[in-house]
Chains A and B, each alone.
Chain A
């Protein structure tokens, strides 16, 4: 009995130490990222004054780009999204919509919406995919092509798009997104200006809920009415403005949102294209590109830029949010597991020594540690292993630190882009930056923990997030 008691006490102590370590290392890293982002985003914002965006638009040497939009059961929003994309200000632009065997009216709405006709064109697959059913074109809209294929998942749809595209770069765009007119020009800017082969360039995804739209463009930015959506606005600001911008400055970009990113086509094909063995194909591809470049001695660069904006609807209901977060967490684990050779591998530099371990221990395992901490620490208190005062203080520190990081993200937004023009919106964002840590954070943590459990159980299903749209 005594032996069991000792084991229990030891385990609890170990776990408490783990929690404390996770707290300090994780938040320490977040603070470093926040400072790095402050520098990176602020500098980038100042540089916009002379970046010569329109010279890129008018130049004959600007490379053509294909926007690939995979769509599966997106009947409510797909036509609006394609209209928004067709208005993109970019020379030599092609748009390919890949209908991934939708069971709703997606294909029919596209045919009706754009006057498309079925054509029997040649399909030359360089990447193996599920069979293509047909091509739809309107001779008066030569830069739009709709491909209908058998259902094979988002990565498969993207691979069909890559096979059909002919341009040196392609941009992946979720079919529920609205693109700002100059977003692609901005996204291509780091590619055009870089002396190194920039294989990935990612932009920022912002939340469309609550904004006013006209002709498939956002004309007035406002905060959404729903609390759940407002929490996500703060979360997206934190994730994109200081998470990704910070890693970009440190040279450790491992995640770029596939909802809106430009890729170098040949590099993607040579590296093996979008894999079907993870549910976060965007992160998987970026890690795969780094490995491919290392193994083949290629010098590549990935870039994250904070001013090209793509607007997307965030989940309005808990159920959809749960699906989304569960998938993200499970995909994170799948990707990290698949590419585990990078962990603490010096050959990958910052990526292997800092970025990959951060994703493994803080974003991956950390979710489970933090979630279990909410139950284990009270148990430790019950057994007198931790003073209750310390626990209460520690909880407050956790909440305060979470608030600090979220307020930092709101401040970063305020220092740079100020997309939310009303003072009331700013105050609301600051309020939600605090409120987020009480209830919402724990709920998301629970969803992420479910993702961890799904990964351990070998679950591989892609969970669809349904948008209300209109």
Chain B
């Protein structure tokens, strides 16, 4: 036993010494790293100070190109390509700066370097140079890393280097997913129409081949950035036997259409942008697709097709058995041209699903006074409690209550009074009373006191008691007291 203990003591002592050395090494490493980084940043800062004005002027076209290029080529050192990259791509270029920046990167030889790195190739000179220096071997190994390939793919996208798109398309099959993602983004940035088909093929691969490491969301995010003119290329996908591929293709076109519609509210899918074949496909097949996701995503596209069949089809989809199809259709109908369908939309206020009810109320509000009137009418006449609750909710959230109060004072037909009455009966008066409490309009408060002061609803009662005891205006105070007596 003592023999063993002695050995344990030696072992523990050795561990102690080892740990002491390790600690020392880590501390030295941390300090060395800090000093090295500080030196690096000092150098970069100095180079930025010297060359950033040159690069800015070159990008903006304010400086003689040859002169600026010569100045940048004056940077020396084995890492000058890295320094050029740091200087040129330090800030995100504006679209106007991109052509000059691209030319600069080409003339500095950066584009060739990036292209080589993306494809994983090395020229003889680079190899010879790398092998000649001891640290060069490590640099060479470093070049094999996916990080460099991904960064290079990213850089080609930043400068929108159009000739590189086939290379980037090939990079979508790179063994590392980071390179695939960077290539995807760059393809989106370049936006070459010819690359679209390749990207669609990639979408098919991701859907059909399990184990693909690219996310569907990432591929879709790239495809939707292309213009609507590319939509015909999705025709085979829209007719694909796989229901998920049909769904993604429809959804991509929907996003393209939404983007156009955001720029022009009256935008329609005329034959110039949306060929006959696509139009027919949506009107005759996708609107009736067995996959409800496809039907749901087809709705916003159908709404933009100037064809007499589209509105009836949308109204049919408004009664779809799947709630989310109805939801998408109701949201789609929030366009001025669908004002004539106001009654059909209002029917959805009694939908079994609350999200559809809410969307219907919100869609009605986009029609201005017509929609508000319809909403009030349903609020007053609907026997469906859930529908009334939903309308009251939307009225508060969408800021209808201040308008209601304003119109209540001016109202001749008494509809606003009925709406307030209904709100009071439902106990939804917090917002209303908060507005009344903060209004300087004595006439409004007087009218409200006369009409509703005697109501037993808790919030109203509290407000009236407050007026009766604390209101400085004697007339209002007296009215409040009278209302309390009436109650």
A residues with a Cβ closer than 8 A to B are 43, 46-47, 49-50, 52, 54-55, 59-62, 117-122, 124, 134, 137, 139, 142, 192-195, 387, 389-390, 393-394, 396-397, 400-401, 403-404, 407-408, 410-411, 414-415, 418, 423, 426-427, 430, 434
Contacts and interface: CB of A to CB of B under 8 A. Distances in A.
14 contacts: A49-B151, A60-B258, A120-B430, A139-B399, A192-B215, A195-B213, A390-B9, A390-B12, A393-B16, A408-B26, A411-B30, A426-B31, A430-B27, A430-B30
Interface stretch (B95-103, B216-224, B309-317, B461-469): B216-224
Interface stretch (B17-25, B62-70, B167-175, B235-243): B17-25
Contacts of B92: 54
A401 B15 CA distance: 9
Task: Give 8 closest A-B pairs by Cβ, nearest first.
Answer: A50-B154, A400-B19, A120-B428, A118-B430, A139-B399, A119-B396, A59-B221, A61-B221
A52 B154 CA distance: 8
B214 A120 contact: no
A120 B389 CA distance: 10
Contacts of A121: 393, 396-397
B34 interface: yes
A393 B26 contact: no
Contacts of A407: 23, 26-27, 30
Interface string B200-239: 0000001000001111111011001000000000000000
Given A120-B430, A134-B430, A407-B26, A61 B224 contact: yes
A288 B398 CA distance: 38
A390 B258 CA distance: 74
Contact of B30 (A117, A396, A410): A410
Contacts of A400: 16, 19-20, 23
A410 B34 CA distance: 12
A118 B434 contact: yes
Contacts of B31: 426-427
B127 interface: no
A60 B451 CA distance: 49
B389 A122 contact: yes
Interface stretch (B52-60, B177-185, B278-286): B177-185
A393 B178 contact: no
Nearest to A192: B217
B255 interface: yes
B352 interface: no
Contacts of B8: 390
B259 interface: yes
A61 B220 contact: yes
A47 B431 contact: no
Nearest to A118: B430
A59 B188 CA distance: 11
A122 B393 contact: yes
Interface residues of B, number: 62
A195 B205 CA distance: 13
B217 A393 contact: no
A61 B255 CA distance: 9
A47 B148 CA distance: 9
A122 B29 CA distance: 59
Contacts of A134: 430
B13 A195 contact: no
B15 to A, nearest CB: 5
Contacts of B396: 119-121, 137
Contacts of A142: 397
Contacts of A124: 354
B431 A193 contact: no
A403 B23 contact: yes
B392 interface: yes
A47 B182 CA distance: 11
B271 to A, nearest CB: 26
B37 interface: yes
A98 to B, nearest CB: 18
B210 to A, nearest CB: 10
A387 B151 CA distance: 59
B35 to A, nearest CB: 8
Given A60-B259, A195-B216, A411-B30, 15 more contacts: A49-B151, A55-B188, A59-B224, A117-B431, A193-B218, A389-B9, A390-B9, A394-B12, A397-B12, A401-B19, A404-B23, A407-B27, A407-B30, A408-B26, A426-B31
B399 A411 contact: no
B80 interface: no
Nearest to B392: A120
A408 B212 CA distance: 36
Interface in B392-431: 392-393, 396-399, 426-431
B5 interface: yes
A115 to B, nearest CB: 11
B258 A122 contact: no
A124 B153 CA distance: 47
Contacts of A60: 221, 224, 255, 258-259
Contacts of A396: 16
Among A50, A54, A397, A418, the most chain B Cβ lie within 10 Å of the Cβ of A50
A418 B57 CA distance: 32
A55 B189 CA distance: 10
A400 B8 CA distance: 17
A119 B26 contact: no
A299 to B, nearest CB: 11
Contacts of B137: none
Nearest to A54: B92
A50 B214 CA distance: 16
Interface in B366-412: 389-390, 392-393, 396-399
B91 to A, nearest CB: 12
